[in-house]
Amino acid sequence: MLVELRNFLWGIIMASSNKGSSRIASNRKALHDYFVVEKFEAGVVLRGSEVKSIRDGHVSLVGSYARIENDEIILHGVDIPPYSHGGHYNHVADRPRKLLLHRREIRKIRADVERLGQTLIPLSMYFKRGNVKIDLGLCKGKQMHDKRESMRRKTADRDAARAMGR
């Protein structure tokens, strides 16, 4: 009886902890074109109409990237279309947006980008406790043969899973 109650309460706690984050968009093409070396979670500075448009699910991360400018990380190329009920106070769809990271994280990222020639690519955007967050990947570009190898591996895994299912 006591064990069943404990398991029931644990299930409620785990279900409520997953409520805090919900995925909005992901950049699957980035995973095809780059090796992800390291991931960072960053907050995004947004305007009110941008948040409302994101809540409606209107955001695209394809072709976006981040750059270090004046000791800040700026996100470029993220398309958040204007909010449909925004009126004349709407935002510009593809404006650069500041990312919020700790200073030591920015220093580490800058060192890796300058020394190793890696790239900052947004991998996914999600809500976490009501705030918009971005998974920022420190990435290294794939060569054409690497992409072909990845596709071969995925196909082989898919075929093996189908064979196991039969």
Q: Residues 83-125: pLDDT tens digits?
A: 877 777 777 777 899 999 999 999 999 998 888 888 899 999 9
Domain extent listing, the chain: 22-147
Which CATH number, 2.40.280.10, 1.25.40.10, 2.40.50.60, 2.40.50.100, labels domain 22-147? 2.40.280.10
Strands 65-69 and 97-100: unpaired
Residue 111 is encoded by which pair of tokens?
Answer: 């060192």
pTM here is 0.72
DSSP structure class, residue 89: G
Contact between 99 and 66 under an 8 Å Cβ cutoff? The reply is: yes
Total Cβ atoms within 10 A of residue 4: 8
